Amino acid sequence: METGDSQNHDPSLTIHTRDLRMRYGTTDVLRGVDMELRRGEVLALLGPNGAGKSTTIEILEGFRRRSAGQVSVLGVDPDRGDEAWRARLGIVLQSWRDHGRWRVRELLDHLGRFYTPYTTPYAADELIDLVGLAKQAATPVGRLSGGQRRRLDVAVGIVGRPALLFLDEPTVGFDPEARQEFHDLVRRLSELEDTSILLTTHDLDEAERLADRILILVAGRIMARGTAAELAAQVAGTATVRFSRDGEFHEHEVADATTFVRELFEKYGTAIGDLEVRRASLSEVYMTLVREFESGRRTEVPAELSEVPA
Amino acid sequence: MNPRIVAIRAGVQRGRIEFRQTATSPGEILGWLWMPLIALVVMYVLSDTAVPGTDFSLGSQAVPGILAMNVVFSALLGLAAVLTMDRGDGTLLRAKATPNGMLGYLTGRVLSRAALSVLMLLIVLIPSAFIFEGLQLGSAVAWLRLAWVLALGLVATLPVGAVLGAVFSGPQGLSLVSFLVMGLSAISGVFYPIAALPEWLQWIAQVFPLYWLGLGMRSALLPEAVVVAEIGESWRTVEMIGVLGVWVVIGFTLAPMVLRRMARRESGSNLEARRQRAMSSMG
């Protein structure tokens, strides 16, 4: 193994992994993941269920030992992270159901205490206002609605003013309104101080709304990376052209729609009608990818999403 | 300030909050009290029977043993049960995600269980003082002795409870343990002097803390004359301290190792897997 990243750690990178691998028995869950999260950035790890998102995040959180590869989180190897390192992380998991009998303010005040040797944690009331739970401050945690509970989880995650916040599938099971509110909250958080955020989601729309950059993880590999606009540009190459010729309908998948249509008119002129040109959206390409991956038909990256050269 | 001291202080706060939550929940208190209450009723019926070799009421003689049994249930099994539950709902993972959170969590759980055990002992003892005759509750010496025997009993049983809670991942394992504790109650002289049992059973009972805790409580609460019903016609205070002391050492040696292993294994996907298993076993 090469020397750890901590020795030549780039301080502008909150997370840096190289060739991160995870194997359970004979199953490779992560097959060489390289990722970088810059300070203050919101990065979405997007992928279908079973792609390895949760495994990745648990390795980064120091909850799971990797099989191979280099990992640096806030300049430290998570396998060797101490409590001072832990104090700089905020963790929001998929399914917290803990502390049901505690009152909201009581719990935030209690958990904040653990951070006092390392930082000045949020005062419980300030945090309650920030996540919009002022009316529920004295409510037992077990009686919160799903959306309120999730906002409390975020409040707990940031009580120690973390440099890095992990959000694992934060809006699973939300109705559209709760989702919208949650997205607003995450955007507010990313503007606060210098918090870097790594969020996992299987929803492209969520990744596009929240993240500065997106990594698409499929079958334990990063299939594509970039801003939403960069990813969209990668798939913009193909388009579907529909038209009728002499009353008969046709449909073609083409790489260069403009040239195709020009030639179509040069050849058939006024016989062409009902022209429609549609570029495949990123979401269509992603959905196709997910469906094919989940049905086991695809294990490798499609041409539209081949990795951008760095 | 030292982060670990901060965490222990937070743990003390945690213990207070958890104690309040349980102490103000009648359902939960009753859940831990029905066994000793039934035992008391049975022993009340036997009040007119005398302890062999004395004219002391068998019912009154059994009260200290029932208190000891109650301590083992509420401290040892109680701590094991909350640890298992806290793993199931993510409380433990939350502690792991918090700096020094495990230390604070355990401090809170141990203190709140200890306080609840004292509370439940008093809930059983105080009415018994009026119902059963002959308990030596008028003297400060008796209360003092009761206090240190109880303290020693808690220090001997709580770490064992933590170990069991860490080793067993679900309620099935714990039902087995509580079944064993009930069996142990039957042979540990809780209800009837142990001298009446075959000698090999006496030896088994004397390995475990329950017998010795009961003996210590009897030595605190019963008149001196009743000692003739005990093994060797003695309260055997030195032996009691010795055996309970060995359990203290065993508990404090094993608990940190086992708890560290438990904490290391805790992760979100393990939590999710347990939740799925629990849901499918319910469905």
pLDDT digits (tens, 9 = 90+) for A95-110: 778 999 999 999 999 9
Is the model more confident about A1 or about B105?
Answer: B105
Strand order in the sheet with A13-24: A27-38, A13-24, A68-73
* Torsions phi, psi for A215 (to 5 deg): -110, 130
Is the model more confident about B122 or about B278?
Answer: B122
Least Cα separation, residue B90 to chain A (angstroms): 5
B191: pLDDT strictly greater than 90: no
Q: For A78-82, A252-256, B1-5, B199-203, which range has the lowest pLDDT when averaged over its residues?
A: A252-256
Which residue intervals of chain A bear CATH 3.40.50.300? 5-231
A5: pLDDT strictly greater than 50: no
B14: pLDDT strictly greater than 90: yes
Are residues B59 and B226 in contact, defined by beta-carbon separation less than 8 angstroms? no
The strand pair at A239-245 and A248-254 is best described as antiparallel
B209 vs A84: CA distance, rounded Å: 40
Q: For A115-124, B133-142, B145-154, which range has the lowest pLDDT when averaged over its residues?
A: B133-142
Mean pLDDT of B81-89: 90
Residue of A14, A242, A102 whose CA lies nearest to B14: A102
pLDDT for the residue B115: 97
pLDDT for the residue B281: 61
In this complex, do A99 and B266 lie within 8 Å of one another by their Cβ atoms? no
- Indicate the pLDDT class of residue A301, thresholds 50, 70 and 90: low
SS3 of residue A257 by DSSP: helix
pLDDT for the residue A2: 43
pLDDT for the residue A308: 45
pLDDT digits (tens, 9 = 90+) for B220-269: 999 999 999 999 999 999 999 999 999 999 999 999 999 988 888 887 77
pLDDT for the residue B94: 93
The rounded mean pLDDT for chain B is 91
In this complex, do B99 and A115 lie within 8 Å of one another by their Cβ atoms? yes
pLDDT for the residue B267: 78
pLDDT for the residue A288: 72
B167: pLDDT strictly greater than 60: yes
In this complex, do B268 and A97 lie within 8 Å of one another by their Cβ atoms? no
Mean pLDDT of A182-197: 84
pLDDT digits (tens, 9 = 90+) for A46-76: 988 888 998 999 999 999 999 999 999 999 9
How is domain A5-231 classified at the architecture level of CATH? 3-Layer(aba) Sandwich (3.40)
pLDDT for the residue B276: 72
**A117 at interface of B, judged by CB pairs closer than 8 A:** yes
Domain boundary assignment for chain B? 3-271
Count Cβ–Cβ pairs < 8 Å, chain A vs chain B: 86
A142 vs B82: CA distance, rounded Å: 17
Minimal Cβ distance to B1: which of A63, A84, A117: A117
- Which chain B residue's Cα is nearest to A82? B99
pLDDT for the residue A6: 45
Are residues A166 and A92 in contact, defined by beta-carbon separation less than 8 angstroms? yes
A9: pLDDT strictly greater than 70: no
The strand pair at A42-46 and A13-24 is best described as unpaired
